Structure 1
């Protein structure tokens, strides 16, 4: 079909719109990522999908389109932890750098990717750069005990453009959900664990359905202001997904922690970086929910490492 025909299928309103198959969704988003759609068509796609909502098959097809356009990297001998970071600090400081560096201290390879469409927010990348971890210019496969973080535009410019469309339209589009499932190493066939977060409980089910359709590995939690890190003030439920099918209840939601931890003084980069260093150096305690999350990721990593090597690229 041509792009106009796809737009007719998805653009008939909440009750009249039809869902695309996985292959159709892959083809449609592929045209958009490759710059083959007119700006008006991109806007129509964003609005139509916002009204209709994405199905698990469509999200898996969108991931197929992105993964097919990722640069080929060397396959890793051990599973890589993927941290999508796209919200940043709003009311609370961004603590994703603490999660990333805590995992690195456990000897795990970590790849953090992200950006923000709101210039007022402090990002995990800004904090990491302040701590001496420069942003990578191209996708690489991190080694055990290594952190790699990169901007989405270095990963796939067309995807970054679609995220930026929010500034012109004023609404989220499928790219904002897609990046929270995204595995930048999919083309290499590397076993990867995506740490996915949701802000509302109903989104957990749709994320699980998407990972089931794609056959991917994930840890899901209600993150801190949309970041893939546990809120240090309360213990969220942690659910592991292996090959899209096996769902593990790793931690039940227990509510507020007995003692509220002291967080960084303010949202700025320097204060967050200083606080993160103090926690890593043992001058401050690791917030219990984040310590529990680190342990859950390490447990899942061991399970993935025991799986047979994948035959092809992982979705």
Structure 2
């Protein structure tokens, strides 16, 4: 029987000497961490070892397996749900993830936004949504078509929130910070979900695509706005649509210009961002072209998932 120490020996031999874990081994290891069975020193060793070695697609899929197995159950949804992971917040630009979420809701899609932050100086999507009179839930529920549900990571899985918070102690990111951008909180409900995953460095797009291929999941991948899953309103991003683990759609216009430079709020605070969001939703300001394109791509992918589910149901 394997132990935490044995797995740490495998992954902790440095960049060149470390060996990758299988999907099942990665699932078992992270399961121990999430369940509190690892000692603090072992958690730190896990975080540093994986930071140096880097995660393989099989390991990341195994980590997702561990998280999904521990998530709370909710009722199955009647329609595929759009999942927006929001973990970075505003640094130099306003956080527009709430705008994306509410534009998708306006299209009649069910949207689940989950997140937290390990940097207290940033404005979060949750703070903007609070200004828009949207209260997060404390118990996971499946959103209905045209509904937005938001939830904090700690309400989903306390052990995962603890692992995210370890960044403040260790000073470095760990696999949890990548994991949450792949995570489907409705995995145990049987609800089909499309995860909108984002990356800040182009090389991560490859590993994210490989992870979804390994897991056979559905996703839209793009270079997000400061790590948020919303297109940068100043430029057209490259986007990849992945269904059942296979890349079916690639819109390549990385860095392409937009028809007109958007007039963004002058401040990053939640009140100013919420006011801007209201103005766009009310038609007083235009939807930034890259975000409008992202919304349309998500709507199209949602339509394909809905059609596939209907076909599968008819054949059952």
Corresponding position of 2:263: 262
Corresponding position of 2:114: 113
Q: What CA distance in whole angstroms lies between the structure 1 residues aligned with 2:117 and 2:310? A: 34
Alpha-carbon distance, 1:307 to partner: 1.2
Return 5+ residue gaps in structure 2 as ranges: none
Alpha-carbon distance, 1:310 to partner: 11
Corresponding position of 2:211: 210
CA spacing shift, 1:304–1:251, aligned 2, 3 Å: farther
1:286-305 mapped onto 2 (5 Å cutoff): 286-305=287-306
Corresponding position of 2:39: 38
Residues 74-129 of structure 1 deviation map (CA, whole Å, 9 limit, x = unaligned): 11111000000000000111000000000000000000000010000000011001
Alpha-carbon distance, 1:253 to partner: 2.9
TM-score when scaled to structure 1?
0.97
Q: What CA distance in whole angstroms lies between the structure 1 residues aligned with 2:255 and 2:162? A: 39
1:234-253 mapped onto 2 (5 Å cutoff): 234-250=235-251, 252-253=253-254
Q: What CA distance in whole angstroms lies between the structure 1 residues aligned with 2:191 and 2:272? A: 35
Q: Does 1:184 align with 2:172?
A: no
Q: Does 1:174 align with 2:184?
A: no
Corresponding position of 1:27: 28
Q: What CA distance in whole angstroms lies between the structure 1 residues aligned with 2:252 and 2:133? A: 33
Alpha-carbon distance, 1:251 to partner: 5.1
CA spacing shift, 1:217–1:285, aligned 2, 3 Å: same
Query: Is the partner of 1:220 in helix, strand or coil?
Result: strand
Q: Is the 8 A contact 1:82 1:183 kept in 2?
A: yes
1:89-238 mapped onto 2 (5 Å cutoff): 89-238=90-239
Alpha-carbon distance, 1:72 to partner: 1.1
Corresponding position of 1:52: 53
Alpha-carbon distance, 1:247 to partner: 2.8
Query: Is the partner of 1:149 in helix, strand or coil?
Result: strand
Corresponding position of 2:85: 84
Alpha-carbon distance, 1:249 to partner: 1.4
Corresponding position of 2:275: 274
Residues 161-197 of structure 1 deviation map (CA, whole Å, 9 limit, x = unaligned): 0000000000000000000000000001111000000
Q: Is the 8 A contact 1:112 1:148 kept in 2?
A: yes
Q: What CA distance in whole angstroms lies between the structure 2 residues aligned with 1:247 and 1:264? A: 35
Q: What CA distance in whole angstroms lies between the structure 2 residues aligned with 1:122 and 1:100? A: 17
Q: What CA distance in whole angstroms lies between the structure 2 residues aligned with 1:235 and 1:289? A: 5
Q: Is the 8 A contact 2:82 2:193 kept in 1?
A: yes
Return 5+ residue gaps in structure 1 as ranges: none
Q: What CA distance in whole angstroms lies between the structure 2 residues aligned with 1:26 and 1:296? A: 32
